Structure 1
Amino acid sequence: MRPQDTSLDRPSPDLTTQLIHHPYRPPEDFAAPQPGVFKASTVFFPSVAAMRSREWKHKTGYTYGLHGTPTSYLLEERLATLEGGLQTLLVPSGLSAIALVGLSLLAQGDEVLLPDNVYGPSKALAEGELKTWGITHQFYDPMDPQDLARRITDRTRVVWLEAAGSVTLEFPDLPELLRICRASPQVTVALDNTWGAGLAFNAFDIAPGLGVDLTAHALTKYPSGGGDVLMGSVVTRDEALHLRLKNTHMRLGLGVGMNDVEAVLRGLPSIVLRYAAHDRAARRLAHWCLDRTEFSQVLHPALPDAPGHAHWKTLCGGAADAAGSGPGLPGQAAGLFSVMFDARYTGVQVDAFCDALQLFKLGYSWGGPVSLVVPYDLNAMRERWPAHLKPGTLVRFSVGLEAVEDLQADLAQALGRLS
C-alpha cells in the first residue's frame, strides 16, 4: 500500500502549486443528456503496482490518452452496436481506417483485391504504398461474382467490398461475393460501410451464416452529420482480428481528439432520423431527374433500372419506391445519387452546370446538412468503362437537409443554362 504523503497536508504557499494540486473533487453522481469529455495524454495511476498491471488492449482501465479515455470508449461501444459488431477502433479519418486494415493484414508477397468502383484513395493506396512494399493488387468487376472467383489465389489475403459502389452506386450481390470469399479460408473480407452507415443493412449478418470480417467507416459522414469532423472506425466481431488490428493501431500511434469524439457522440443519436431524411430527399430528386432529357441515366440503388437494384431490394429491406415519398419509405439507400449527362453535352458544359448551382455546393464528402455536387472523369477512375453505364459525363449529388422543393428548383435553373 502506498504510504500516506504528509508533505502536502498543509497547502503550499505557492499559488501555482495550489492550483495544479487543488484537492477539490466534484461529486460523481452528475448525469445529463450528453456524456462528459475526458481529454488526456497523461493518465494518473494510484500506485506503481497499478501502473505495471494495467493492460491497454482491453477496456479494463486507462494507461495513456492515445489508448482511450471514457469518452472514446463510449463512442467505440456505441459504434459497435450501430454496425452489429463487438469491437471498434477509432482513427483520424475514413481513409485512415482503410490504411490501417492494409498495414495490419498485408505483408510482402500478399495480394489485395478491390472492386473496380472502389473509393478512389483506396485505389491510390494500393497503387502507391502497398505496391512499393511488395503487396500486389487486382481490380475485379463487383457486378460479376465469377470475375472475383477467377482472381482469388493462395496469395489473396484481403478482399474489399463496397455497397453501393463509389460514385456510380452499383449495388453488388454481397451474399454471393461472400460465399466466393469463404471458399478461401485465408481471405479476410472487409467492407467499406460508409454508405450503409450500419443502417441500410447489417454487414456482419448479410445472409444466414454469412458476414464480413470487418467494416471500415468514415464517421466524417453520417455519424457526425455536421460536415465538420474527420474520423473513421474499424469494427470487428472476432477478438483475435481486433487485437491484430489494435496492435498495428498502437504501433502507428493513431489517435483522435476527444472534442471530435464529443461531436460524433452528439450527432449519433439523430443518425437514424437524418439518414432517413437524406434518403427520402435523394429519392425524390433522383425520380425527378428521370424525366429530364439532359440525363441519359440516373444512378440510385432504389430505382428499378439502377445497376444492382435487385440486390439492394433483397438486402436493404423491401421494394423500391422510386418517388421516395411518404414517411414509410421501404428500404434504406442513403442520400447519394449520380446522373449521367447525355453524351451531346461537353465536359465544359457539365462543369458550367455545376458552377451554376446555388444550393448544391461544390465539395467532397457527404452526410452533412448542406447539399454537395461533384463532376467526375470516370475514364480516369476505372480500369474499363462499365457495360451497364451509358456514355456521357457523370455528376454525383449528395443531398443535404434543405427543402426538396428548393433543391429541385436549383437543379432546374442550372439545367436551364445548359442551352
Structure 2
Amino acid sequence: MTVAPRTALLHGERWPTADFEGMQPGIFNAATVVFADMAAFRARDWTRKDRFIYGPHGTPTTFELEARIARLEGGNNSLLCPSGLSAITLVYMALLKPGDELLVPINVYSANRAFIARELVEWGVQVRLYDPTDLESLAFSDATKLVWIEAPCAITFEFPDIPAITARTRDAGVLSAIDNTWGAGIALRPFDFQVDISVQSLSKFANGSGDVVMGAVTCAQQEVYDILKLCAMRLGLAVSGNDAASVLKGLDTLALRYHAQDATTRQLVNALRGNDTFEEVLHPSLESATGHAFWQRDCSAAAGIFSLVFGDAFAQSDVDRFIDALQLFKIGFGWGGPRSLVLSHGRSVASIKPLHGELVRFSVGLEAAEDLLADITQALRMLPKTAS
C-alpha cells in the first residue's frame, strides 16, 4: 500500500542483523516487542528464552548476559535484576510465604539483614540466625524452606564450609542460596558444591567500572528459575540493554581484573599484618582468617577487598582522620571497580566475634600495590602517637 511520507518514516524496513557480528553484542533496548502474528502472541511464555515478549521479559542483549553469567557460575539459567539487593529480595519473595522459615548467618550483609527484619518478618516469615563457623547451630524445622550462605562475609571475611552446609540442606530437602558477589564465578563456582541458587551484585566485579547497578540470580534447577522469573515479571523487574551491554564488556576482562586485584590485595595484607596499629587484618588468604582452610580448599582466588580492625585505643575520630588523609583510596560504597575505595564500619558490624576496635574496609582497584601501600602508610602518620 502507498503511504504518506510521515508514515513511511515510521514503517521502513529494519536493516538485517543476522549476518553481522562485531567484537561486542548489539545493544537492544525495547519496551514494546512486535509479534509476527497472533499465534506467536498467544504462544508467549515468560519463562522461555527462544522468543521475545516485552522489554522486561528480555532482549537479545539481556539474554546474552544472562547466558554468560550462568556459564560463569556453572548454573543452568540466570535472571537479571535492577540491583544486587533486588536479586536477594526476589529470592525471598518468590520462595517464602508466611509461616515458612529462613535461616541466615549471623554475619549476613547489612542490607539483606534490614530487608529481613523490616519486611520478611512483618510479612510472617520466620527467621533464625545460625553461626556459619559452628554448623551445630544450623538446625532445621518442618517450616525451614531456605538457608542463606555468605561466602565470605563481605566485611569480616569469615569463610563457611559450603559443602557441609549444602549436604545438610539437601538431606533435609531445603533449598540453599549463596551470595557469590565476592567469588564472582572466578574464585568460587557455587554449583560445584550443590548450591541451588546463586546471587551476585553485578555492580561489583562483573561490571568492573563502578558505573552500573545490576544484580543476577542463577539457578541449578529449571523449576526454581521458573518460579523466580514469574515473580520478577509480576514485580516488574527489568534492566536496560545499555546497562547489560556495559556488564558484558566488563566480563571480557573480569578474570584479568579479579586476579590482579587479588594479587595487589595479598601484597597489602601481608605488609600490614605485622603493624601493631591493627588488632586484626582480615582477608581469607591469611592463615589467621576464620575459615581459611575452607577458602583454601574451595576457592582459586581471594578477591580485592580486606578490612583492618584498629587497636582499641584508637577512637572513631582518630580513624576518621586516618581515612580523610588517604589520597588514593576514595570514600564510597561498593567494590570491584578500577579505583580503590575505603569505608568505615565502626564497631557495630554483625560479626561472629565481637570487634575490639574500629573496622575499616578497603576495596583495592587497579593501582600499583606500592602506591596503595605508601598511601596507607602516610595516612597512618595522622594517628595520635599516644594511642599506639
Residue of structure 1 equivalent to 2:57: 67
In 2, Cα distance between the equivalents of 1:229 and 1:240?
A: 29
Q: Secondary structure at the match of 1:205?
A: helix
More divergent stretch after superposition (23-32 vs 290-299) = 23-32
The answer on 1:148 being equivalent to 2:138 is yes
Q: Secondary structure at the match of 1:132?
A: coil
The answer on 1:38 being equivalent to 2:28 is yes
In 2, Cα distance between the equivalents of 1:134 and 1:27?
A: 50
Residue 183 of structure 1, CA deviation: 2.8
Residue of structure 2 equivalent to 1:201: 188
Of the candidates 96, 99, 104, which is equivalent to residue 109 of structure 1?
Answer: 99
In 1, Cα distance between the equivalents of 2:64 and 2:347?
A: 40
More divergent stretch after superposition (79-88 vs 139-148) = 139-148
Indicate conservation of the 8 Å contact 1:197/1:222, yes or no: yes
Q: Secondary structure at the match of 1:314?
A: helix
Of the candidates 390, 393, 396, which is equivalent to residue 361 of structure 2?
Answer: 396
Q: Secondary structure at the match of 1:263?
A: helix
Residue of structure 2 equivalent to 1:13: 4
Q: Secondary structure at the match of 2:262?
A: helix
Q: Secondary structure at the match of 2:121?
A: helix
Residue of structure 2 equivalent to 1:241: 224
Residue 13 of structure 1, CA deviation: 3.3
Question: When the two structures are aligned, how many residues end up with a matched partner?
Answer: 384
The answer on 1:339 being equivalent to 2:329 is no
More divergent stretch after superposition (50-59 vs 166-175) = 50-59
Residue of structure 1 equivalent to 2:276: 293
Residue of structure 2 equivalent to 1:223: 206
The answer on 1:260 being equivalent to 2:226 is no
In 2, Cα distance between the equivalents of 1:245 and 1:35?
A: 26
Residue of structure 2 equivalent to 1:271: 254
Of the candidates 148, 152, 160, which is equivalent to residue 148 of structure 2?
Answer: 160
In 2, Cα distance between the equivalents of 1:292 and 1:166?
A: 23
Structure of higher CA gyration radius = 1
Which consecutive unaligned segments of at least 5 residues does structure 2 have?
none
Of the candidates 24, 28, 53, which is equivalent to residue 18 of structure 2?
Answer: 28
Q: Secondary structure at the match of 1:128?
A: helix
Of the candidates 346, 353, 368, which is equivalent to residue 322 of structure 2?
Answer: 353
* Distance change in 2, residues 1:213/1:267 (3 Å): same
In 2, Cα distance between the equivalents of 1:375 and 1:225?
A: 22
Q: Secondary structure at the match of 1:283?
A: helix
In 2, Cα distance between the equivalents of 1:50 and 1:94?
A: 33
In 1, Cα distance between the equivalents of 2:197 and 2:16?
A: 40
Question: Given residue 407 of structure 1, which amino acid in structure 2 is its aligned partner?
Answer: L
Residue of structure 2 equivalent to 1:371: 340
| Deviation sequence 1:140-166 (CA, Å, 0-9, x none) | 1111111113xx211111110011112
In 1, Cα distance between the equivalents of 2:167 and 2:380?
A: 44
Residue 378 of structure 1, CA deviation: 3.7
The answer on 1:169 being equivalent to 2:169 is no
Indicate conservation of the 8 Å contact 1:296/1:390, yes or no: no
Residue 188 of structure 1, CA deviation: 1.0
Residue of structure 2 equivalent to 1:319: none
Indicate conservation of the 8 Å contact 1:112/1:157, yes or no: yes
Question: Given residue 286 of structure 1, which amino acid in structure 2 is its aligned partner?
Answer: V
* Distance change in 2, residues 1:53/1:377 (3 Å): same
In 2, Cα distance between the equivalents of 1:200 and 1:168?
A: 18
Of the candidates 48, 63, 66, which is equivalent to residue 58 of structure 1?
Answer: 48
Residue of structure 2 equivalent to 1:280: 263
Q: Secondary structure at the match of 2:138?
A: helix
Which consecutive unaligned segments of at least 5 residues does structure 1 have?
1-6, 317-330
In 2, Cα distance between the equivalents of 1:177 and 1:55?
A: 35
* Distance change in 2, residues 1:27/1:137 (3 Å): closer
Question: Given residue 290 of structure 1, which amino acid in structure 2 is its aligned partner?
Answer: R
1:310-325 matched pairs, under 5 angstroms: 310-316=293-299
Residue of structure 1 equivalent to 2:115: 125
Residue 56 of structure 1, CA deviation: 2.5
In 1, Cα distance between the equivalents of 2:111 and 2:227?
A: 23
If the length of structure 2 is used for normalisation, what is the TM-score?
0.96
Indicate conservation of the 8 Å contact 2:177/2:195, yes or no: yes
Question: Superposition RMSD on alpha carbons, in Å?
Answer: 1.3
1:401-416 matched pairs, under 5 angstroms: 401-416=366-381
Aligned-pair identity in percent equals: 47
